[in-house]
């Protein structure tokens, strides 16, 4: 944040809008289709019942990695256990098929510069031009507004949007009391689940603040956000045996 705009988040720039078949200079084509080739080879080697079964199992395990396989979507479905679905306006995100079309390797932490209700309201407003995947409330309640499959316009940077999941936290960057214990724990659990789903390392290179996104003029989450504590909590949640790391 850092600007006076009460309702956090950037307006989406032109550069963020979909370009058919387009890939920015920052696209990472080489990392996208690895499993496909492997799956095809397995398919080709599927002679005899045993091999066929093996190939089918392998394909079953990797099917979600195959480009062109459109994953089933159900209205109201969430990626994080315990999150409550409430849809953002479709003008504030772009349909995608992550992680098949884009690898996800970043989590971006935001602060709303306003309350939870305000965040939900503006993310549902098609004129806002921006929204995050998740909004975390002071009491730890989590709203999911955009599927992790899709690209949310939250970082003000196209390639960062394509590779990341964005989490908003209600409150203000200059108000330390915004960040409650319940919020830290709940957000850390959410991030731990994201890191597990996409095999993202739990460190400050991969879990970043909006302020660290290249080219941004936003300052969130600000100086009061306790990164050391947050990462400690994410690791704790990640290592918890029955942690909410699997899709709901
Ligand atoms: Zn932000």
Domain ranges in the chain are 29-65, 75-239
**Distance from residue 198's CA to the centre of ligand 1 (Å):** 22
Mean local confidence (pLDDT), 20-43 = 38
Whether the full predicted model's pTM is greater than 0.85, yes or no, is no
| Residue 216 · residue 155 · CB < 8 Å | yes
* pLDDT attached to residue 15: 40
Question: For residue 165, what are the β-bridge partners?
Answer: 107
Q: Which of 7-11, 109-113, 121-125, 183-187 has the lowest mean pLDDT?
A: 7-11
**Distance from residue 5's CA to the centre of ligand 1 (Å):** 11
Q: Describe the strand order of the beta sheet including 134-136 as a list of residue ranges.
A: 84-85, 142-144, 134-136, 164-169, 106-111, 207-209
* pLDDT attached to residue 56: 53
Looking at per-residue pLDDT, the higher value among 153 and 66 belongs to 153
**Closest CA relative to residue 216, chosen from 3, 67, 58, 45:** 3
Instruction: Measure the CA dihedral 216/186/62/53, to 10°.
Output: 180
**Distance from residue 112's CA to the centre of ligand 1 (Å):** 7
Q: Share the mean pLDDT of the chain.
A: 80
* pLDDT attached to residue 87: 97
Alpha-carbon span 197 to 70, nearest angstrom: 18
**Distance from residue 134's CA to the centre of ligand 1 (Å):** 12
* pLDDT attached to residue 39: 37
User: pLDDT category, 68, cuts 50, 70, 90?
Assistant: low
48 C-beta neighbours (distance < 10 Å), count? 9
User: pLDDT category, 52, cuts 50, 70, 90?
Assistant: low
**Distance from residue 28's CA to the centre of ligand 1 (Å):** 24
**Distance from residue 7's CA to the centre of ligand 1 (Å):** 10
Alpha-carbon span 144 to 77, nearest angstrom: 9
**Distance from residue 166's CA to the centre of ligand 1 (Å):** 9
* pLDDT attached to residue 35: 43
Q: Are strands 142-144 and 134-136 parallel, antiparallel or unpaired?
A: antiparallel
Q: Residue 166 pLDDT > 70, yes or no?
A: yes
Mean local confidence (pLDDT), 188-193 = 98
At the fourth CATH level, the homologous superfamily of domain 75-239 is Peptidoglycan recognition protein-like (3.40.80.10)
Mean local confidence (pLDDT), 136-162 = 98
Q: What percent of the chain has pLDDT over 70?
A: 69
Mean local confidence (pLDDT), 76-81 = 94
**Distance from residue 72's CA to the centre of ligand 1 (Å):** 30
User: pLDDT category, 2, cuts 50, 70, 90?
Assistant: very low
**Distance from residue 155's CA to the centre of ligand 1 (Å):** 6
**Distance from residue 51's CA to the centre of ligand 1 (Å):** 50
- End-to-end Cα distance, the chain: 31
User: pLDDT category, 6, cuts 50, 70, 90?
Assistant: very low
**Distance from residue 157's CA to the centre of ligand 1 (Å):** 11
**Distance from residue 37's CA to the centre of ligand 1 (Å):** 38
Q: What does the pLDDT look like over 81-104, one tens digit per residue?
A: 999 999 999 999 999 999 999 999
**Distance from residue 1's CA to the centre of ligand 1 (Å):** 6
**Distance from residue 197's CA to the centre of ligand 1 (Å):** 23
170 C-beta neighbours (distance < 10 Å), count? 25
User: pLDDT category, 23, cuts 50, 70, 90?
Assistant: very low
Looking at per-residue pLDDT, the higher value among 242 and 128 belongs to 128
DSSP assignment of the chain equals: --SS-SS-SPPPPGGGS--TT---TT--GGGTSHHHHHHHHHHHT--SHHHHHHHHHHHHHHGGGSTT-PPP--TT--SSTT-EE-PPPGGGEE---TTTSS---EEEEEE-SB-HHHHHHHHT-TTT----SEEE-TTS-EEE-S-TTSEES-SS-HHHHHHEEEEEESB-TT-GGGS-HHHHHHHHHHHHHHHHHHT--SSTTTEEEGGGSTT----TT-TTS-HHHHHHHHHHHHHSTT-S-S--
């Amino acid at each position: 944040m850092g600007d006076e705009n009460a309702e956090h988040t950037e307006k989406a720039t032109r550069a963020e809008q979909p370009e058919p078949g387009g890939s920015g200079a920052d696209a990472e084509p080489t990392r996208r289709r690895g499993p496909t080739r492997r799956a095809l080879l397995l398919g080709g080697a599927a002679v005899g019942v045993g091999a066929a079964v093996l190939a089918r199992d392998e394909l079953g395990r990797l099917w979600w990695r195959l480009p062109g396989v459109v994953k089933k979507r159900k209205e109201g479905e969430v990626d994080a256990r315990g999150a409550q679905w409430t849809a953002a306006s479709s003008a504030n995100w772009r349909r995608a098929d992550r992680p098949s079309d884009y690898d996800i390797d970043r989590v971006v932490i935001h602060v709303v510069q306003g309350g939870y209700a305000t965040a939900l309201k503006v993310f549902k407003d098609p004129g806002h031009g921006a929204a995050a995947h998740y909004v975390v409330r002071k009491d730890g309640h989590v709203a999911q507004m955009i599927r992790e499959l899709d690209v949310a316009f939250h970082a003000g940077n196209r390639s960062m949007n394509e590779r990341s999941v964005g989490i908003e936290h209600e409150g203000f960057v200059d108000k330390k009391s915004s960040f409650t214990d319940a919020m830290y724990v709940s957000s850390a659990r959410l991030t731990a689940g994201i890191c597990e789903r996409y095999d993202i390392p739990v460190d400050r290179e991969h879990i970043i603040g909006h302020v660290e996104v290249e080219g941004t003029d936003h300052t969130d989450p600000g100086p009061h956000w306790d990164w050391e504590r947050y990462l400690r909590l994410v690791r704790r949640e990640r290592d918890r045996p029955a942690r909410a790391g699997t899709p709901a």
